[in-house]
Homo-oligomer: A and B are copies of this chain.
Amino acid sequence: MSNFLQEFEDERKTSGRKKLGEKCGVFGVYGHPEASTMVALGLHALQHRGQEASGIVSYDGDNFYSKRALGLVDQTFNQKDVIDRLKGYLAVGHNRYATTGETLYRNIQPLYADLALGGFALGQNGNLTNARTIRQELVEHGALFQSTTDTEVFIHLVAASRKPTIHERLAEAMQQAEGGYSIVACAEDTLIGARDKHGIRPLALGKLNDSWFLASETCAFDIISAEFVREIEPGEMVVINKNGIKSYFPHKGNPKRFCIFEYIYFARPDSFMENRSVYEMRKAIGAELAKESPVENADLVVPVPDSGIPSAIGYAEAAKLPFELGIIRNHYVGRTFIEPTDQIRHLGVKLKHNANRAYLEDKIVILVDDSIVRGTTSRKIVDMVRQAGAKEVHVRISSPPTKHSCFYGIDTPSSEELLANSHDVDEICKIIHADSLAYVTTDGLYKALGEVKRNGEDRKFCDACFTGDYPVRLTDLLDQKMSKRVTELG
């Protein structure tokens, strides 16, 4: 085998890079005496949506307090003195997974600014598709940008607006900003939540006694025993202050196009999206896949852990086959490992996964995973299962082929790096050394989610990564080459 080097290096990268990347997570609280603790707990539950950095901004009626740092939520916000200094009954927080902008301290959200109307902090989950275009215009008029994030565009649009209140200014900004995004923002005595006009990115509203909460996923309400109230609507902005909650619609009448990949991989299985259990949907996709692409004489169904487990259970149940943990994951894989020499490379070192030999020997194995990005991990796992004695290895994928990059806040490789962009299923099957390969169909996917099939006139979801059908135009893409002007050393 000649490509161990590539595989080994792949192995050394974080899983996020081999999978489509998680997006960011946002959380906001109004009316709780320990607001920053609530946010820290909420961000903890949303850690899977961003592990690079996190931040909290709080407001106590007089002042704002801010803490932002690289690393996991637990590393920054686990100390009493940090939380104690983030005083107040109102707070917003953000988990960051770099989508645009390098991971610099000044890019960590929520971003804060002193506006003429007072302090203002904002965190975004998603991505703007015309950020560079707007930014350039603002700079022409003398604006100074402190970060390289598209989120700062919101802050500048709010600062430059002539409207009399913060929320009217933010509504104006939302009308200029294109893309897929959810926002939590905090001004003096005001918590704001908002969602892009198609509702591509998720945002939910929760309640516990007199406190209001906003979160990317409902699992963040569970951790603090808050009640899930409803989702923020596409194009909606909610404004929460001492007078209660009010709803505004800077955008109205646009069809909902929720990100279908949240169901497939991003969201936590214990979250609910659009009143659907994510876990249940994953099992349903697995079942659909079993119906569409069965394997004759198969002995068992094996998930690629951990993300493939629910769809594998669904597949096994539908196919009436045993479900077994045929691949064991090592939970202690750090970010980097020893630089491999030729000697080592030839071993095909298995840092992250190991085959559970006892259950694979002489078996016809169905391997279930959620997606194939570059194909290197899949091939390595197929090889490993085969080395452990499997007679046949049939790969089943619980999403259609990923052919197109996402521009709405998900970290995808460029289209050229996506294996399915340039190879058909048969070619991919050979590349990953499988005996057979099948993806769930787009219609099958929609069926699992309760639709009859994909309807080109009323598509319900954003499925651009499979179909190339982008619901929001990609303005900045025309001007890809705008050079970065400063390299800040970490």
CA distance A82 to B356 in the complex (A): 32
A485 pairs with B118, CB closer than 8 A: yes
B74 pairs with A336, CB closer than 8 A: yes
A225 pairs with B347, CB closer than 8 A: yes
Interfacial chain B residues near A309, Cβ < 8 Å:
325
Q: Is A75 an interface residue (CB 8 A)?
A: yes
Chain A 474-490 interface mask (CB, 8 Å, partner B; 1/0): 00000000011111110
B63 pairs with A339, CB closer than 8 A: no
B48 pairs with A332, CB closer than 8 A: yes
* Chain B nearest CB, measured from A365 CB (Å): 15
A334 pairs with B269, CB closer than 8 A: no
Interfacial chain B residues near A10, Cβ < 8 Å:
none
The complex is assembled from copies of this chain, and their number is 4
Q: Is A214 an interface residue (CB 8 A)?
A: no
A223 pairs with B45, CB closer than 8 A: no
CA distance A45 to B337 in the complex (A): 13
A63 pairs with B484, CB closer than 8 A: yes
CA distance A269 to B329 in the complex (A): 10
Q: Secondary structure of the A side of the interface?
A: mixed
Size of A's binding interface in residues, CB under 8 A: 105
Interfacial chain B residues near A224, Cβ < 8 Å:
347, 349
Q: Which A75-94 residues have a C-beta within 8 angstroms of B?
A: 75, 77-80, 82-83, 85-86
Q: Which of A141-149, A243-251, A417-425 contacts B (4 or more CB under 8 A)?
A: A141-149
B356 pairs with A270, CB closer than 8 A: yes
Interfacial chain B residues near A461, Cβ < 8 Å:
none
Known: A313-B323, A338-B83, A359-B279. A66 touches B489 (CB 8 A): yes
Q: Which of B146, B323, B348, B359 contacts A106 (CB 8 A)?
A: B146
A279 pairs with B349, CB closer than 8 A: no
Interfacial chain B residues near A387, Cβ < 8 Å:
225
Interface positions of A (Cβ within 8 A of B):
33-34, 37, 40-41, 44-45, 47-48, 51, 57, 62-68, 72-75, 77-80, 82-83, 85-86, 105-106, 112-116, 118-119, 139-140, 142-146, 155-156, 159-161, 219, 222-225, 268-270, 272, 277, 279-280, 306, 309-310, 313, 317, 322-325, 328, 330-339, 341, 343-344, 347-351, 354-359, 387, 483-489
